[in-house]
Amino acid sequence: MAEKIKIAVAAILALAGLAGFYALAGQPTILRLLALLGGFVLGASVMWFTEAGRAFLVYARESWEEAKRVVWPSRKEALQTTGIVFVFVFAFAALLWVVDSGLLWVTQRLLGQGG
């Protein structure tokens, strides 16, 4: 029960920050952003003390470590792959243009329009 109350308080604080952002519509942007960030920081700090918050932090750390283990392509590989994608897109666009032009020509002939 205490966990649910903490989560509800965290959500209320985050929503209060969001409401403050819109309530201060006539104020300078920095003040509005401070209200928004303040609500989110307070909500996050309350979430820190919940089991769900701690589980999220463990998940985030493990995800960060997993991203470090990914073998990213070299610059050459990335450029080659990008080039292949561009060539394929251009070729497919040309094919669709030819099919579209052909269908337009056939449709115009059937309807008796065009030269």
Contact 43, 8 (CB under 8 A): no
- Torsion sign, CA atoms 6, 7, 10, 15: negative
Is the domain of 56 the same as that of 112? no
* Number of domains, the chain: 2
Domain final residue pick, 53, 69, 85: 69
Give the pLDDT of residue 115: 59
Query: Do 62 and 91 fall into the same domain?
Result: no
Residues of the domain holding 62: 2-69
Task: Return the pLDDT at 112.
Answer: 87
Q: Is 115 helix (H, G, I), strand (E, B) or coil?
A: coil
Task: Provide the whole-model pTM.
Answer: 0.53
The pLDDT value recorded for residue 3 is 87
Examine the domain organization and report whether 13 and 54 are in the same domain: yes
Same domain, 53 and 96: no
pLDDT exceeds 90 at position 73:
yes
54 and 95 assigned to the same domain:
no
What DSSP designation does 27 have?
S
Q: Say if residue 60 is in the same domain as residue 105.
A: no
| Of residues 2 and 76, more confidently modeled | 76
